[in-house]
């Protein structure tokens, strides 16, 4: 399996200035290439039921559409003809599941995550917007703890929108429109974040997907990429961390890690337990209207 994804390495966290009205910013943030096994999952109905899915206007055994979890929180289920699937919650606009054609899950959600809308869902491909980490507003911004609306939906894709509200204006008084697209394409899960300035003044923002992946075990995990010679902040050293230089070309984890690597945009998660790899890349596009 190959996965292309915007993860929270330092190179994946960006600050952008957005000029008024005539400027749009787009980031192709996630592409997950699934297994090339063409075998379909035998029963989509049982598959949906195993996730506790129910839906307004959609049969319990339906493969895709608007669903509700056990707390009546709405999410979109996408299903491709090849059997791969994804789940995207309207609350936070967060992707909480991606399974390839073999049914292998690649996205993790914490066991203690709240999925009732009382707080941001801990896990998945979680939005950090318009701020990553601590800063002038609340940590990681507000995109992950507001309701997004459905702009467009098919069996294999959904476009969600987030516009200013009284809540967001009380935190960050900018006139914006964010569109987050999730698409299942040819054994791939692709996401795109599109930010448009709808106002008269330019503004700066940061965008990231705070991404959680599931692996069989740490012992089976190796992270390859252009790490060798790159600087990273080791947050486990001292009170404020320490800048260090990586000497390895592949990372294995035998102790607690909290590191931010600079300029690494090509990590590959290699899981010997599942025999599948997850690779991550970024794309960036600006549009002037």
Whether 28 shows a pLDDT value over 80: the answer reads no
Cα 98 from chain centre: 10
271 in a domain, yes or no? no
The arithmetic mean of pLDDT across residues 185-211, rounded, is 90
| Residue 226 contacts residue 267 (beta carbons within 8 Å) | no
Residue 163, token pair as written in the block = 């516009």
263 in a domain, yes or no? no
- The predicted pLDDT at position 56 comes to 37
- The predicted pLDDT at position 280 comes to 73
CB atoms closer than 10 angstroms to residue 162: 22
Whether 14 shows a pLDDT value over 60: the answer reads no
The arithmetic mean of pLDDT across residues 7-11, rounded, is 28
The arithmetic mean of pLDDT across residues 21-25, rounded, is 44
228 in a domain, yes or no? no
Q: How far apart are CA 246 and CA 45, in angstroms?
A: 47
Q: How confident is the model at residue 31 (pLDDT cuts 50, 70, 90)?
A: low
Range(s) of the domain holding residue 73: 2-218+276-288
Query: How many separate domains does the chain show?
Result: 1
Whether 24 shows a pLDDT value over 50: the answer reads no
225 in a domain, yes or no? no
Whether 205 shows a pLDDT value over 90: the answer reads yes
The arithmetic mean of pLDDT across residues 218-226, rounded, is 95
The least confident of 94-103, 149-158, 186-195, 222-231 is: 186-195
Closest Cα partner for 95 from 86, 84, 104? Answer: 86
238 in a domain, yes or no? no
257 in a domain, yes or no? no
| Residue 181 contacts residue 19 (beta carbons within 8 Å) | no
DSSP 229-269: T-EEEETTSTTT-EEEE---SEE--SS---EEESS----EE
- Whether the upstream peptide bond of residue 194 has omega within 30° of 0, thus cis, is no
* CATH classification of the domain holding 155: 2.70.98.10
54-109: per-residue pLDDT in tens?
333 333 444 889 999 999 999 999 999 999 999 999 999 999 999 999 999 999 99
H helices present in the chain, as ranges:
44-50, 166-171
| Residue 214 contacts residue 108 (beta carbons within 8 Å) | yes
Q: Taking the alpha carbons of 33, 81, 122, 177 in that order, is the dihedral positive or negative?
A: positive
Q: Who has greater pLDDT, 40 or 226?
A: 226
- The predicted pLDDT at position 172 comes to 96
| Residue 75 contacts residue 142 (beta carbons within 8 Å) | no
Q: How confident is the model at residue 288 (pLDDT cuts 50, 70, 90)?
A: low
Q: Who has greater pLDDT, 39 or 250?
A: 250
Give residue for tokens 């607690």.
256
- The predicted pLDDT at position 212 comes to 94
Q: How confident is the model at residue 134 (pLDDT cuts 50, 70, 90)?
A: confident
255 in a domain, yes or no? no
- The predicted pLDDT at position 32 comes to 54
65 in a domain, yes or no? yes
Q: How far apart are CA 123 and CA 213, in angstroms?
A: 8
Whether 26 shows a pLDDT value over 60: the answer reads no
**H and E: helices and strands count for the chain:** 2, 21
Q: Who has greater pLDDT, 205 or 16?
A: 205
């Amino acid at each position: 399996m190959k996965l292309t994804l915007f993860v929270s390495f330092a190179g994946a966290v960006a600050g952008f200035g957005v000029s008024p009205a005539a400027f749009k910013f787009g980031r192709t943030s996630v592409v997950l290439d699934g297994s090339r096994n063409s075998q379909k999952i035998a029963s989509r109905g049982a598959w949906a039921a195993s996730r506790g899915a129910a839906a307004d206007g959609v049969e319990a055994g339906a493969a895709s559409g608007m669903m509700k979890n056990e707390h009546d929180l709405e999410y979109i289920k996408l299903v491709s003809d090849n059997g791969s699937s994804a789940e995207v919650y309207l609350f936070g606009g967060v992707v909480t599941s991606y399974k390839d054609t073999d049914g292998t899950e690649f996205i993790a959600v914490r066991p203690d995550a709240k999925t009732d809308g009382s707080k941001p869902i801990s896990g998945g491909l979680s939005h950090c917007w318009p701020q990553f980490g601590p800063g002038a507003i609340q940590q990681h911004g507000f995109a992950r703890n507001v309701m997004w609306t459905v702009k467009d939906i098919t069996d294999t894709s959904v476009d969600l929108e987030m516009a200013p509200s009284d809540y967001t204006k009380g935190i960050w008084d900018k006139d914006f429109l964010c569109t987050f697209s999730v698409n299942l394409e040819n054994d791939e899960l692709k996401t795109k974040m599109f930010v448009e300035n709808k106002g008269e003044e330019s503004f700066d923002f940061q965008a990231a997907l705070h991404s959680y992946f599931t692996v069989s075990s740490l012992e089976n995990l190796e992270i390859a990429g252009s790490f060798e010679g790159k600087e990273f902040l080791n947050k486990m050293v001292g009170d404020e961390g320490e800048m260090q230089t990586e000497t390895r070309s592949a990372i294995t984890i035998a102790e607690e890690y909290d590191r931010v690597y600079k300029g690494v945009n090509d990590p590959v998660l290699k899981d010997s337990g599942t025999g599948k790899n997850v690779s991550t890349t970024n794309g960036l596009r600006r549009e002037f209207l």
